[in-house]
Chains A and B, each alone.
Chain A
Amino acid sequence: MEGSRAMSSQASAPRVDLVVVAEMVEPGSRVLDVGCGDGELLNLLRDARAVDGRGIELSQSGVNQCVAKGLSVIQGDADTDLVDYPDDSFDYVILSQTLQATRRPRVVLEHMLRIGKRAIVSVPNFGHWRVRAQLAFTGRMPVTQSLSYSWYDTPNIHFCTIADFVALARDIGATIDKSVALDRHGNPLQVALPTWAWNLLGEQAVFLLHRKR
């Protein structure tokens, strides 16, 4: 869960992609941030949306940074610990840039939809044209600015494309209420496009979903 979030938390202004996530959250709600890194998103949600936020983070240093910010964060693992949370105990369960690093993404997503009334998931898009081009033209596993690991030491063991995620959501009976594709700087793509086009142009995407009840 020490994904890309921890690497780019130096800037004082909140990252644009986190703002996109935060804007999906109703003020004053209860939020669980799974893989919360150093607590940047939880901090933003607390300050800007007055949420009652909780976090799960794998790394001890991440947990310590969160605790020092006054956040309530538990050292734990999305793959093993979500099972402990009761049904509907949060308004939102957020998984930002972490799904691809879990061992069982489908199970994790199902737990999120069980624990939270809604889930917000952001994923890097392996279908982006630059990724496709690297594989097509160099014949090597893509290494890009946002996906900076070599294949043999990447924590990102379950990459998917935007289209793949949409299919997974359908398979587990979740409804996507909102989806936003982001460019390489984390800014939303403003134009309305069909999914196949987003799947080419989005570096990452943020989804708001709920399960059918």
Chain B
Amino acid sequence: MGEASAITRPGAASEADAPHSLALRLGPDRPLAMEAGVNLAPLTIAYQTYGALNAAKSNAILVCHALTGDQHVASRHPVTGRDGWWETMVGPGRPLDTDRFFVICANVVGGCMGTTGPASVNPATGEPYGLDFPVVTVGDMVRAQAMLIDSLGIDALFCVAGGSMGGMQVLQWAALYPKRVFSALPIATAARHSSQNIAFHEVGRQAIMADPDWRGGRYLAEGARPAKGLAVARMAAHITYLSDSALHRRFGRNLQDRVARTFSFDADFQVESYLRHQGSIFVERFDPNSYLYMTRAMDYFDLAADYGGALVNAFLGSRTRFCVVSFTSDWLFPTSDSRALVRALNAGGASVSFVEIETDRGHDAFLLDVPELFATTRGFIDAAARARGIS
């Protein structure tokens, strides 16, 4: 792939239509039937693979990405140039060992890194979809992934793994396609989005929509960009990914490049400077409308509601081996969410393990260098591989 040769628009906007990754292009004959009642076609699914599929096609692992993640799980990000977002977990010798397993990760429907989403061009108008794009659900994401897995000729996945919104997809996979999921690794996630989490997401969406450059969602067509609104959304969200003690340990009340308070609204404190930086680098790589759609998909996620109000019904008779992981300091997806999930899995007679990992690094711990996470997942994956007969 030529370096940035296809870029016609800055940053992420170009990736939406010309991704630097593999892409499955499905024509009008193979639409995605979305929960919003729309048949989405044509549909592009941008994805990356690592490692090799074995002859029996039994060693495929699907990694599902989180809210602002993408398919570049273990390779350089084409926009930021940074390492893949889960290289701690995916790669040669890692728990999801690419020397043994064929790892697939696809950008979700509604994303902005090459899979069809609000930043993609709507063939009906020749302009980016914007808010004409149908509202996406986690179920839509998973059904699109299943189309990709079908196209790769893979019947059953050895494992579906992911954290946060990725974990929601893992649960949706296990509920929708129990026979296609040999093992499931939902990390730092929940079977439904909490009221508090919906509230935080609404703050983020309002920040984007309050930016005059959002232009009612038509900023791409009008050559504008609500960068300030998206940055504020990211700043607010970023706080929820950390913990009080992690923030305090890292920044305390330290001042940024100054010896005294300035009696202004400049970024006096290191934590302010850090958040502003997080906001500014995020807008380089993410589409503001896509952020609206991703947060909405999480808000709408309530697996029990799809199964008569009882989560146990989503997993009744499941043969999938589950390993549920939570983190002590994660207040966005607290351990109580994971325990509710584990209770339902248990009540349904599923095979489930559960570990709560001690860390002060908050929700983001699933992306970080947390040795206990690696030990747990490595043990789970290796044991499942033995059971599946993968060498």
Contact = CB atoms under 8 A, between A and B. Distances in A.
Contacts of A70: 383-384, 386-387
B346 A74 contact: yes
B346 A85 contact: yes
A86 interface: yes
Say whether chain A's binding surface is mostly helix, strand, loop, or mixed. Answer: mixed
A60 B335 CA distance: 14
A75 B355 contact: yes
Nearest to B385: A70
A74 B386 contact: no
B206 to A, nearest CB: 38
Interface stretch (A7-15, A61-69, A145-153, A194-202): A61-69
A112 interface: no
A72 interface: yes
Interface string B332-363: 00000000001100110101111111100000
A109 interface: no
A68 B358 contact: no
Contacts of B376: 63-64, 67
B353 A73 contact: yes
A115 to B, nearest CB: 11
Interface in A71-125: 71-76, 84-86, 89
Given A60-B372, A67-B376, A74-B353, A86 B347 contact: yes
Contact of B321 (A64, A66, A72, A75): A72
Contacts of B342: 74
B233 interface: no
Contact of A67 (B346, B353, B387): B353
Nearest to A69: B383
Q: Which of B352, B358, B383 has the most CB of A within 10 A?
A: B383
Contacts of B357: 60
Contacts of B347: 84-86, 89
Contacts of A54: 346, 351
B386 A64 contact: no
B352 A74 contact: yes
Interface string B306-329: 000000000000000101000000
Nearest to A53: B351
B339 to A, nearest CB: 8
Contacts of B386: 70
B372 A64 contact: yes
B380 interface: yes
A86 B349 CA distance: 10
A68 B382 contact: yes
Contacts of B343: 84
B375 interface: yes
A66 B353 contact: yes
B252 interface: no
B352 A67 contact: no
B380 A67 contact: yes
Interface in B358-391: 358, 372, 375-376, 378-380, 382-384, 386-387
A63 B321 CA distance: 15
B355 A64 contact: yes
Q: Which of B346, B353, B354 has the most CB of A within 10 A?
A: B353
A76 B326 CA distance: 13
Nearest to B354: A74
B383 A75 contact: no
Nearest to A66: B353
Interface in A178-205: none
Contacts of B378: 68
B89 to A, nearest CB: 16
A89 B343 CA distance: 13
A158 B11 CA distance: 64
Contacts of A84: 343, 346-347
A194 B300 CA distance: 65
B355 A67 contact: yes
Contacts of A67: 323, 353, 355, 376, 379-380, 383
Contacts of A73: 353-354
Contacts of A63: 353-355, 376
Contacts of B382: 68
Contacts of A64: 355, 372, 375-376, 379
Interface string A25-63: 000000000000000000000000000001000001001
Nearest to B321: A72
Given A67-B376, A70-B386, A74-B342, A60 B358 contact: yes
B355 A60 contact: yes
Contacts of A76: 354
Contacts of B352: 72, 74
Nearest to A32: B346
Contacts of A66: 353
21 contacts: A60-B357, A63-B355, A63-B376, A64-B376, A66-B353, A67-B353, A67-B355, A67-B380, A68-B383, A69-B383, A71-B353, A72-B352, A73-B353, A73-B354, A74-B354, A84-B346, A84-B347, A85-B347, A89-B346, A89-B347, A89-B349
> Which 3 interchain pairs have the tightest Cβ spacing?
A68-B379, A70-B383, A74-B354
Given A67-B355, A67-B380, 7 more contacts: A60-B357, A64-B376, A67-B323, A68-B378, A70-B387, A72-B351, A89-B349
